[in-house]
Chains A and B, each alone.
Chain A
């Protein structure tokens, strides 16, 4: 099915198992260790690889002496650029060639790969590889390299610039103006499971157990890199311990393992160490964002401008799309957004946890708070006054949009009316207490996905697709959809994911996973329903599926009597006109209360509420968990997470989880997330919208706004650590 028209009433509209807060169907496997991750797959005769990283950021390898490593106990192979095979190239999404030459393009670039009989032997030998470099000067810090920025031209992302009306003129003459610059830091995904792969060859066929969010995309990138047909590559990835974008693209672990295994004719496994992940894989670029808002005295926006600088390797076009939501979130006749990219000699920057919106809203939604203050207007009311009636840049309708309802419901539940608009007024012991809010929005993409469903005579339905579950609950919602559509209990549904031998799927990323894969499955189930109805001699349009039976009028047949030796069907979903003719986003509103220690500046979030609308909620429990997880990310982005670049070495200094801080349990207070009822009939057959990243979007801004309200410090440089607050706190001594 192609999404070209509105979805009419369908089988999911009646109350059923879809939407129920079902426990995860894979929960038991997860907590008992039964869920096997890539590195845990047992392989006879497996060898262990260890990556050697470049310890310079730019230059050439002058000499590389592998003799000591080769002689070390257990070592069977040391790969370097001298003995690695030629590989195909492309941007970081298309290919991932390794050990291609003596050039060092970025710190941590793999420069050798040591394979040994045990992990410890490989690691010890890796330290024996003797590398000498010629260092050359590089460009590392975004802030110091703004003069050489260029307009990025990615082939798979929106255009870097947009303009409507006369922004400059309208801003200049606007009665009320905000012109502020926000910065967000370099960030690392910091997912639990490290990047890991086991590679093995069966003749000219390559099998990879690998931690990867988008298997079909990965299959193509590996084919390009290794110059072999995609059909000869099988990726297996049934369980993934988080990705957050860090496993969207093929990484060095997969290619190094594949090359070494081909050479050695034995399985090779490798996991990046926690420290290696920070440099060897992707990260989120830091951003410098200038926000200009011009409004009339009633708060109606006349001009809205958002300029974003981010960095990436000179060979890459991927930019941090932090101004993308500014194109669609608020009304206003004169608009300007621009993204500029600085070429930097640091590792590849790419997608991480709501790329774009996540850091873009941390600037936009704080600038809105600043505007509200200047206008002496309730921040909720300011947003209400700028609610657009159609997409203000594309001039197309929204598929569905209930931002105002989210804000009002959130304000009511949170007790927003108790907020004192004047900062620094509320005290609780040594805590200065404040409240803040921000809007949430995230694009709702749909990607080509296919599914196969088969009903066997034992009454079990098996769903197959090359979809992944990165811990979000995909197995569970797919089981619910199939159960509902086929009238079977969820225990009778087997969902098999994570294998490129199964029908092609979108994978997990960009909040498209559930909508895309679920719709493909919905279509497959519809096709199977039709076959079953025909076999039963019933009209597919009126047949009811319930309790393992199909019924029409007085007639009822058991499904197991109809399927013969087994009956199967395929389904497919493709984006279409709906995706061009409707502006599709999910929405929400965050409310946060924080305490700022009046003496030390320590910030602790005291409570948080998110109210969202994201179309049909497929599982109330996994949806809530996604939203809460996103809000936790928001707390981290506002208060903790930052990689620090040392411009002398061109590397990230704090590359481990002791010093790259993500929130811990003690940082997370009572958080609640609520979804308001909504159905989006332009989005997909499920009428759902993406949920995965919505909770992140705006969450950090609500905290920053609450900090301002608590103590009057407007910190425009994230993360808001205590050192930045000290000078604004009440005088001591």
Chain B
């Protein structure tokens, strides 16, 4: 950990103004940032603590959705009765993540911005384009069990590790931000996270100094919500593959469907074509196959993660069969 200055922001605009300085960084729960600082993967010169800002509320929106403050802790969000009743997929995704202690600290904004768990990214002595642009990607020809099979580039094959964000993607959430001049902006979660492309170090649409203030959820879509996380142990492990599914179906007929995936790409993965295939369709193996094909279009393994292709297919089938059974 490098020496850094520390200040506690007393207003959102103050925080954004302070954070615009090169080398400065927002700290929320700190569960990801501090780990990375200890290993000098992150070396901010200034920390701006936003924990005292009034961004810890969950409010109803006029449209019938929810507005989740950026500082709402993962535990509180998962336990909120409105979330549990109307956005079960979000509650379940949160509870499938990390551990109780981490969830007590982790915030909504921080969770969206947590960085990849790629082993090489975590070790400053190894090549990594994301951490040190131009140094190469150690994972492509290395140990890549947990890496992406979709949306990869020749520069980076990392995944976004969040469970929460996958559920939010299925829910068509929006991310509200404020910049140093106090200007607010709303970005759909689809556009918030980037694919690695030529610049894996740029992970989101956030500009320097821009701060997440809230995530808004539109009114809940009709149907059943499911989150299925496949992982190497029963808890406290990142998703190899996860599926957030929202399905409106009766007696073998699907009216509408939404699917989002974790563990597969640099961002929560959602394929419009798959959702279309599943909309107004009969809940049978042929439909599921077509949907799986659409999701996996262009999928490519790198050796250690080849298994994610059949695993995704099988997990999808399992979720679809379960969700359309009634």
Contacts and interface: CB of A to CB of B under 8 A. Distances in A.
Contact of B313 (A120, A640, A722, A733): A733
B315 A664 contact: no
Contacts of A55: 125
A656 B38 CA distance: 13
Contacts of A275: 39
A664 B142 contact: no
A599 B318 contact: yes
B35 to A, nearest CB: 9
Contact of B126 (A599, A644, A649, A726): A649
B2 A726 contact: no
A667 B315 contact: no
Interface stretch (B11-19, B50-58, B188-196, B284-292): B284-292
A642 to B, nearest CB: 10
Given A639-B233, A664-B233, A723-B307, 18 more contacts: A55-B125, A124-B2, A127-B2, A430-B318, A430-B322, A600-B311, A640-B232, A644-B145, A646-B138, A654-B143, A656-B122, A659-B146, A661-B232, A664-B236, A666-B235, A722-B311, A729-B314, A732-B314
A668 to B, nearest CB: 9
B163 to A, nearest CB: 15
B134 interface: no
B317 A733 contact: yes
Nearest to A635: B233
A120 B313 CA distance: 47
Interface string B132-175: 00000010011101100000000000000000000000000000
Interface string A633-660: 0000001100010101100011010110
26 contacts: A73-B3, A123-B38, A124-B2, A124-B3, A127-B2, A273-B38, A430-B322, A599-B315, A600-B314, A600-B315, A600-B318, A602-B230, A602-B231, A646-B138, A648-B141, A648-B142, A653-B120, A656-B122, A658-B117, A659-B119, A663-B233, A664-B234, A722-B240, A726-B314, A732-B317, A733-B317
A722 B232 contact: yes
A430 to B, nearest CB: 7
B186 interface: no
Nearest to B285: A733
B235 A667 contact: yes
A665 B237 contact: no
Contacts of B285: 733
B23 interface: no
B232 A123 contact: no
A52 to B, nearest CB: 11
Contacts of A658: 117, 238
Nearest to A723: B307
B233 A640 contact: yes
A733 B143 contact: no
A666 B233 contact: yes
Contacts of B318: 430, 597, 599-600, 732
A120 B231 CA distance: 35
4 pairs of A and B residues whose beta carbons are closest in the complex? A599-B318, A666-B234, A723-B307, A55-B125
B252 interface: no
Interface of B: 1-3, 38-40, 117, 119-120, 122, 125-126, 138, 141-143, 145-146, 230-238, 240, 285, 288-289, 292, 307, 310-311, 313-315, 317-318, 322
Nearest to A53: B125
A661 B1 contact: no
B311 A661 contact: no
B306 to A, nearest CB: 8
Nearest to A654: B119
Nearest to A107: B125
Contacts of A454: none
B119 A667 contact: no
Contact of A722 (B40, B119, B138, B230): B230
Contacts of A600: 230, 311, 314-315, 318
Most central of B3, B232, B237 by chain A CB within 10 Å: B232
Contacts of A120: 1
A653 B311 contact: no
A646 B292 CA distance: 33
B240 A733 contact: no
A664 B235 contact: yes
Contact of B237 (A653, A661, A732): A661
A604 interface: yes
B285 to A, nearest CB: 6
Nearest to A73: B3
Contacts of B230: 600, 602, 722
Given A664-B235, A665-B235, A726 B310 contact: yes
